[in-house]
Amino acid sequence: MSGAAFTGVIPPLVTPLDDTGEVDVGSLRRLVEWQIDAGVHGVFALGSSGEVGYLDDPRRRAVLETVRDAVAGRVPVLAGVIEMSTQRVLSQVRVAQSLGADALVATAPFYIGTSPAEIERHFRLLAEAATVPLFAYDIPIAVHTKLDPLMLVRLGSDGVLAGVKDSSGDDISFRRLVAANRDAGRPLSIFTGHEVVVDGALLIGADGVVPGLGNVDPAGYVRIFQAAADGDWPAAREEQDRLARLFEILRTAPDVSRGAGGIGAFKTALQHLGVITSARMSEPVISFDQAAAARVRQIVDQVVGPPELAR
Amino acid sequence: MSGAAFTGVIPPLVTPLDDTGEVDVGSLRRLVEWQIDAGVHGVFALGSSGEVGYLDDPRRRAVLETVRDAVAGRVPVLAGVIEMSTQRVLSQVRVAQSLGADALVATAPFYIGTSPAEIERHFRLLAEAATVPLFAYDIPIAVHTKLDPLMLVRLGSDGVLAGVKDSSGDDISFRRLVAANRDAGRPLSIFTGHEVVVDGALLIGADGVVPGLGNVDPAGYVRIFQAAADGDWPAAREEQDRLARLFEILRTAPDVSRGAGGIGAFKTALQHLGVITSARMSEPVISFDQAAAARVRQIVDQVVGPPELAR
Amino acid sequence: MSGAAFTGVIPPLVTPLDDTGEVDVGSLRRLVEWQIDAGVHGVFALGSSGEVGYLDDPRRRAVLETVRDAVAGRVPVLAGVIEMSTQRVLSQVRVAQSLGADALVATAPFYIGTSPAEIERHFRLLAEAATVPLFAYDIPIAVHTKLDPLMLVRLGSDGVLAGVKDSSGDDISFRRLVAANRDAGRPLSIFTGHEVVVDGALLIGADGVVPGLGNVDPAGYVRIFQAAADGDWPAAREEQDRLARLFEILRTAPDVSRGAGGIGAFKTALQHLGVITSARMSEPVISFDQAAAARVRQIVDQVVGPPELAR
Amino acid sequence: MSGAAFTGVIPPLVTPLDDTGEVDVGSLRRLVEWQIDAGVHGVFALGSSGEVGYLDDPRRRAVLETVRDAVAGRVPVLAGVIEMSTQRVLSQVRVAQSLGADALVATAPFYIGTSPAEIERHFRLLAEAATVPLFAYDIPIAVHTKLDPLMLVRLGSDGVLAGVKDSSGDDISFRRLVAANRDAGRPLSIFTGHEVVVDGALLIGADGVVPGLGNVDPAGYVRIFQAAADGDWPAAREEQDRLARLFEILRTAPDVSRGAGGIGAFKTALQHLGVITSARMSEPVISFDQAAAARVRQIVDQVVGPPELAR
């Protein structure tokens, strides 16, 4: 499968947990069905929304096995291989490939200091070991470096990268990435990770979206993508405006950490919709506030509709 | 061993590598002897200077086994257990304890977003699993959060933490930490990680220092510590001023990354001094510039003396 | 003139200087004609692109007088009132109003620390003194705080603000601002300051754009705006893609400061196009590199066309 | 007066305001006496603690005139000339010199982007216009750039700068500045702006301190300075520890802005001590919380003693 084959809506799946903090396999399988029923074009396991930063290796393995089995080849499965630097990412690469990931998603090194040349070398070393397409994951809020668009296109042209997931929130850089990629013959599949500006990203030439909010309303993102493909930009905008209202579930608990605030809201909404059993998060996250959870449910009811209608 | 037992000079050992990138056990054993001969009060394996962020788990294990065997109980061995968040650190804790670490050193979570309450919970959960003393490692340049001094002292009073290694570069917060710890009856052993302000840190009440530069000149740091213990502050300052000149080895390669610039300088100096065989660093670090290496050797010769005298 | 009256393309005019560093009145008048000929809907004097941070009060006054006289009422003149905090901005407000500005543009306080409540109070106090519409200028790269979208809409509903110029580069916040403003009945005119994503910004509901690059190619931005008004999104995108290529003039001198790199590129291009006489910048800017200037001219020739055609 | 003439304790005076927000000349004169009675070696008007970022030009003028007249030549008067960039600072320089300032204190440019070369040029241009000694003010929290120690020493050797006020909180850089200055023959008078680490700063070779907290307890800082001059480091530390406890007045209102939290605490303490009439701050600061003010008074009573004893 070439990089160009990746397109459309590929939500970063949350990782449902049971009461003991273990991966809730049944809920995760239901989440996969919820996504595929909605028409998504792939799923991304072990991304930031999937609590990859929290999960130890056995739990990471359980997630990827479950998703691979549940998907059963119907759509591609992307797997996050998130670790501090090259050697440690390579350990993750070996496991993810052995478990059947269709593509890998890696960040620049973090915790350590790096230079741009070292970041480039990092991706080249990963690609040497990878037997499936490799995506670069640009997420400065977690990694604290921003990937240079020209470097990404160079790595695409050299066959190192098949694509980019851009969660940088830097729309100027994103435009430049899309333009440079087009000038280079489109070696990269470019995905935005920002679920509230998908209409604009598709207008300027993104190949797809990896929307955390797509856990909750995958059908909405599929509709935006289809409207854009049809050139019906007012329809794309209208659907995006609706989903931007749904995104307010992430603002219900302003005092909790970024982790609990975002992923916790997705899980609370999915629990309310009957897709997963528990909204529990990994340690050391402080549990989601009850008032905030009630507000999440209210917003879901208003924007997605009550659970019985949403399914 | 109680927290109060930790005091003095505890250098964060670099990890010598051979030409294939594996841990150079012989060089690491010589480095340990170089340190103990100089009179250090402990050694810290798998800290940032030890390339912990770069090393995969087998290499981490090799480092800790080698250091433990080489030290052979003559001084305490602290071990870094550096990973993204609670579950993953706990995996490291289990290994480090099984290998005989005398104390553990852990950071706040990184990559993920966390709140202060979650950071506190993280350390409490680690301490529940730890059978040896636990140190908090405050290194915002890597972790991107600053540990609150009052939280640290509270965790000390509750028996969660035995000490703190402060590499925050925030001297105001450090003063506050020392003062709050003193008011609480000194539950914490407080170490500064900043090798150029040790005289001042000891004056205001630090218990010791974890100096990266102590890889190269451990005897100098032992002299500062002794001068301070004797109340001979001018002597402490004079020795620190000498070591601050040695610290200029870190400024010889301004364009390389923080990793290559700092650790690479330590390794280049130790190679020049005949302690370790190679200055090689882990992937994806771009190798240390030859002109910079020559400048490092020149500074070492000026400040420490030529290799035959330094030993 | 109500806030709703502001719409379309309102470039932030550069401030041409003569060889002694004084305002070049003739060049500034030609720049105004260049803009109005192209069909812009307003001009913004004394913005960041206008070197407002560099100019002393007499020069600021000279700029605003010249622009006001040259425009002669054909389009609205917005004036930046940029200073550290409330009292000092109020001094600027009095001058700008006395010189006939049609609207004022103010940032949050900078240099001092402020809280959100203090920023809100700051804008309320400015509005009490203002006799013309007041715009909030959201430019975190200069001010180091980000304006809260909900606060901005609240200030719009309360009649404090007539609009917002968003140069934050935070497209998620921008979407939220547009949505909250629409829900509140559109009290604010919302402009994006990002010249490379105007198609997307207009798609999601921006009222206009304040493009620094519009100094060089105002007609291009007018075409985007018209295409968007006509619902011809492919045409808007195509024109924006062309202007994104022109934006590469800002990347010709990567080692100079943000000031020299951006404003210097605009001035160099305008000099090349024959609109202004000199590309000189204010002290202490180091002058634009000759090789970089040649590259700017080359890009302008490729994207805008040679000077004789561009006029 | 050469740069070397500046030494000792030079507090950055707060600016007392009356109920209408104008400069309270009587209180400011009493504050000057309070300082000189305590034995300070100079005073610094219009620094950050003096609300310079808030005051318009007439109020800045009133402050400097009042301080100059009250001091009446007994100690040197340093004056802040704080503005966005070169031209605007030069306007402030002309006024401050005409009002009799004995030395000027300027930051790097802010709001605009600058390069290191431009910052150096900025100080050189200021010095060309200055007829009294010029100090560089290194305050990254306000200016968002850090001054390079080697540049500062170079400017000292070239006769551009007479000294540095370091409020960077970067003790590593401070050590390097002191060492480089010593190697260059001490062209600079080096002051730390950090009131809780003065003992350590003096130990490593600082020439003095500009302590905001010195508004409240100038005699304490004079005692530290004297103890250090006598080589009695335990006494210096003990006094600093006492003042660090007093510094807790800055932590009584954690939710207010940096401005209100710090300067407001100084003013509240000075009002309690009977030195100034009102703790009012400039717009747009939200007034200091009553509970926090009570806590400030309590700390002052504990550490400085009740007002009747403190005078």
Does residue C35 contact residue C65 with C-beta atoms inside 8 Å? no
Catalytic-residue membership of C165: yes
Q: Which of B17, B52, B87, B138 to mutate to test the interface with A (most CBs of A within 10 A)?
A: B87
Q: What is the DSSP string of B129-155?
A: H-SS-EEEEE-HHHHS-PPPHHHHHHH
Does residue D120 contact residue D149 with C-beta atoms inside 8 Å? no
pLDDT number for residue D141: 93
Average pLDDT of D26-35?
98
Residues of A in contact with C237 (CB under 8 A): 203-205
* In the predicted structure, residue D270 carries a pLDDT above the cut 50: yes
Handedness of CA A79, A84, A86, A87 (dihedral sign): negative
pLDDT digits (tens, 9 = 90+) for B235-260: 999 999 999 999 999 988 877 777 77
3-state secondary structure of C94: helix
> Please, which residues 67-96 of chain B have a Cβ atom closer than 8 Å to chain A?
82, 84-88, 90-91
Q: How far apart are the first and last CA of chain A?
A: 32
- Inter-chain Cβ pairs, chain B and chain D, closer than 8 A: 71
Q: Is residue B295 within 8 angstroms of chain A, CB to CB?
A: no
Average pLDDT of B181-195?
96
Catalytic-residue membership of A165: yes
Cα Rg of chain C (Å, integer): 18
In chain A, the residue whose alpha carbon lies closest to the alpha carbon of C239 is A204
Angle between helices A57-71 and A25-37 (to 10 degrees): 40
In chain D, the residue whose alpha carbon lies closest to the alpha carbon of C125 is D284
Structure tokens of B162? Answer: 């035995």
Does residue B59 contact residue B45 with C-beta atoms inside 8 Å? no
Q: Is residue C151 within 8 angstroms of chain A, CB to CB?
A: no
Please give the C-alpha separations between residue D243 and each of A28, A76, D211, D260, in angstroms, as whole numbers: 57, 63, 11, 20
Q: Identify the segments of chain C with pLDDT beneath 50.
A: 1-4
Structure tokens of B253? Answer: 């390669």
pLDDT number for residue C1: 34
Distance, in Å, from the CA atom of D76 to the CA atom of D60, rounded to the nearest integer, reads 18
Q: Is residue D231 within 8 angstroms of chain B, CB to CB?
A: yes
Q: How many CB atoms lie within 10 A of CB C98?
A: 10
C233–A237 CB contact, under 8 Å:
no
* In the predicted structure, residue B309 carries a pLDDT above the cut 80: no
Residues 6+ away with beta carbon under 8 Å from A29: A66, A69, A70
Q: What is the DSSP string of C9-40?
A: E--B----B-TTSSB-HHHHHHHHHHHHHTT-
Write out C64-88 in H/E/C secondary structure. HHHHHHHHCCCCCEEEECCCCCHHH
Among A8, A55, A1, CA closest to A28: A55
* In the predicted structure, residue D73 carries a pLDDT above the cut 50: yes
Beta bridge partners of C136: C106, C164
Instruction: For residue D310, name the pLDDT band (cuts at 50, 70, 90).
Output: low
Instruction: For residue D1, name the pLDDT band (cuts at 50, 70, 90).
Output: very low
Rounded to 5 degrees, what angle do the CA atoms A191, C141, C154 make? 85
- D54, D111, D137, D267: which is the annotated catalytic residue? D137
- C54, C111, C137, C267: which is the annotated catalytic residue? C137
Distance, in Å, from the CA atom of A263 to the CA atom of A48, rounded to the nearest integer, reads 9
pLDDT digits (tens, 9 = 90+) for B65-104: 999 999 999 999 999 999 999 999 999 999 999 999 999 9
Q: How far apart are the first and last CA of chain D?
A: 32
**Residue at C197: amino acid letter:** V
Distance, in Å, from the CA atom of C216 to the CA atom of C304, rounded to the nearest integer, reads 9
Which residues in B147-156 are b (16+ Cβ under 10 Å) and which e? bbbebbbbbb
| Whole-number average pLDDT of chain D | 94
Among B85, B147, B131, B78, CA closest to B112: B85
pLDDT number for residue B287: 76
pLDDT digits (tens, 9 = 90+) for D176-201: 999 999 999 999 999 999 999 999 99
Q: Identify the segments of chain A with pLDDT beneath 70.
A: 1-5, 308-311
For B118, the closest of A84, A112, A257 (CB atoms) is A257
Distance, in Å, from the CA atom of B121 to the CA atom of B109, rounded to the nearest integer, reads 11
Handedness of CA D83, D86, D92, D97 (dihedral sign): positive
pLDDT number for residue D109: 97
pLDDT digits (tens, 9 = 90+) for B269-279: 999 999 999 99
Distance, in Å, from the CA atom of B248 to the CA atom of D172, rounded to the nearest integer, reads 12
pLDDT digits (tens, 9 = 90+) for C63-117: 999 999 999 999 999 999 999 999 999 999 999 999 999 999 999 999 998 999 9
Does residue D242 contact residue D256 with C-beta atoms inside 8 Å? no
Does residue D8 contact residue D208 with C-beta atoms inside 8 Å? yes
pLDDT number for residue B169: 87
Does residue B294 contact residue B300 with C-beta atoms inside 8 Å? no
Helices (H), chain C: 25-37, 57-71, 86-98, 116-129, 140-143, 149-157, 171-183, 198-203, 218-229, 233-246, 258-272, 290-303, 307-310
B171–D203 CB contact, under 8 Å:
no
Kind plus residue range of the DSSP H or E element containing D150: helix D149-157
B284–A257 CB contact, under 8 Å:
no
Please give the C-alpha separations between residue A304 and each of A214, A279, C208, in angstroms, as whole numbers: 12, 18, 31
pLDDT number for residue B178: 96
**Residue at C290: amino acid letter:** Q
B171–D231 CB contact, under 8 Å:
no
Residues 6+ away with beta carbon under 8 Å from C218: C9, C11, C34, C35, C38, C39, C40
Among B110, B113, B60, B121, CA closest to B85: B110
Q: Is residue C18 within 8 angstroms of chain D, CB to CB?
A: no
Does residue D285 contact residue D259 with C-beta atoms inside 8 Å? yes
pLDDT number for residue A309: 59
Q: Is residue C110 within 8 angstroms of chain D, CB to CB?
A: yes
3-state secondary structure of D129: helix
In chain D, the residue whose alpha carbon lies closest to the alpha carbon of B202 is D200
pLDDT digits (tens, 9 = 90+) for B147-186: 999 999 999 999 999 999 999 988 889 999 999 999 999 9
Q: How many CB atoms lie within 10 A of CB A73?
A: 9
For A203, the closest of C194, C196, C233 (CB atoms) is C233
pLDDT digits (tens, 9 = 90+) for D210-258: 999 999 999 999 999 999 999 999 999 999 999 999 999 998 887 777 7
Active site residues of B: 137, 165
Residues 6+ away with beta carbon under 8 Å from B91: A56, A57, B83
Among C95, C68, C57, C56, CA closest to C13: C68
B196–D175 CB contact, under 8 Å:
yes
**What is the nearest CA distance from B226 to chain A, expressed in angstroms?**
33
The interface predicted TM-score of the complex, written ipTM, equals 0.96
For residue A284, whether the previous peptide bond is cis, meaning omega lies within 30 degrees of 0, is yes
